[in-house]
Amino acid sequence: MNKKNSFWSGKYGPMMIAEIGANHEGNFEQAKKLVRLAIKANVDVIKFQLYSGEGLINKKNSIKRFKQINKFQLKKSQYLYLAKMVKDKGIKYSASVWDVKMINWIDKYMDFYKIGSGDLTAYPVLSEIAKKNKPILFSTGLSNLKEITQTINFLRKSNRIYKEKNNLALLQCTASYPCKLEDLNLNAIKYLRKKTGLTVGFSDHSEGNQAILVAYLLGSEIMEFHFTDTRKRKKFRDHKVSLTYKEVITLNNKISEINLMRGSKFKKITFSEKSANHSEIFRRAIYPARDIMAGEKIIKKDLLCLRPNIGLDAREINKILNKKFKKNFYKYEKIKLK
């Protein structure tokens, strides 16, 4: 499914993005633990959310949300430490940068920028990110095709590099936590690819990994999922829709199995079918239903269609109907045309 030279390809086919986001809840030691687990899970990308209350929330209108954001944010030195942890292991690093003041100092580590659903229409923020000449991946929750197309056009006007397929991709996403199955709308993956011509993936906010596997079968080329160490005794909403280390390993194995089952894009006889001689064993040939003497006219009731397929292939029955044998053929004997 993924082209080998695509920026958005991953080790298992789709690019697998472990979204740690804010699951550290402002605890730097927990953040480091989650990075180590994600590295161990062999994902392609480890992603964070970089923000400050002042750079994201109007505290006059949303004081409760402002306080929570400030509680969950890390220090600049800590964000940089985590980014270096990821890059030192040869894994891609990305983040949703929600405070434009942070863009300049994190850019060095960014393989690509992730735009969350809420920022799809935040043109001033998109404009600053576009200046960095890095690939952009954006989620499409809360939006319709018109808004998505407008954002694509805005980015391309802001920087010509986004006319290149490898520099821009999008994710089918529903901005609900947790997302109900009937709200996932996974058929939008094919729809968005057809309408935009871009690489399309899936950002999952549902529980478990079922939606990710279905999304892959529907053509998703990027998989973004929240990542945590455990969901037990966690109150922050993102933990509920997150996968753990063992679940990511299981997911990778399942995708590898799906890749094996997909096989070739062509229909052909498989090696196992050939090596077991199944074309002979399972297919049928034409045999005499009775002893037929030379010179007798052969009619349909004189013949049987049986396995194995040796001698006269069943498809060649018309070559001998209403004809005469030049020699005697006995019941069940292999028939050779010559």
| Phi/psi of residue 203, nearest 5 degrees | -105, 115
Question: In degrees rounded to 5, what are phi and psi of residue 91?
Answer: -105, 145
SS3 93: strand
Which amino acid is present at 21?
A: G
The 10s digit of each residue's pLDDT in 72-82 is 999 999 999 99
Strand ranges across the sheet with 285-288: 303-306, 285-288, 312-313
Nearest to 30 by CA among 78, 97, 96: 78
In the block, tokens 């006059």 appear at 60
Answer yes or no: are the C-beta atoms of 111 and 167 closer than 8 Å: no
H or E element in which residue 156 lies: helix 145-158
Distance between CA atoms of residues 299 and 68, nearest Å: 88
Class of domain 9-262: alpha beta
Give the CA angle between residues 315, 265, 191 to the nearest 5°.
125
Flag residues of the chain having pLDDT under 70.
Answer: 1-5
Q: Which amino acid type is present at position 258? A: I
Q: Which one-letter amino acid corresponds to residue 195?
A: K
Tokens representing 304? 């049987």
Supply the pLDDT for residue 4: 55
Helix (H) or strand (E) holding 140: none
Give the pLDDT confidence score for residue 233 in this predicted structure.
80
Q: What angle do CA 129, 95, 85 make, to 5 degrees?
A: 130
Q: How far is CA 225 from the centre of its chain?
A: 11
What's the half-sphere exposure (Cβ side, CA atoms, 13 Å) at 11? 14
Residue type, 63: I
CA–CA distance, 303 with 289 (Å, rounded to integer):
5
pTM of the shown model? 0.89
Q: Which sequence spans correspond to the domains of the chain?
A: 9-262, 267-338
Question: pLDDT at position 264, please?
Answer: 87
d(CA 146, CA 148): 5
- Domain 267-338: which CATH number of 3.30.413.10, 3.30.930.10, 3.90.650.10, 3.90.1210.10: 3.90.1210.10
Instruction: Reduce the DSSP state of residue 2 to 3 states and report it.
Output: coil
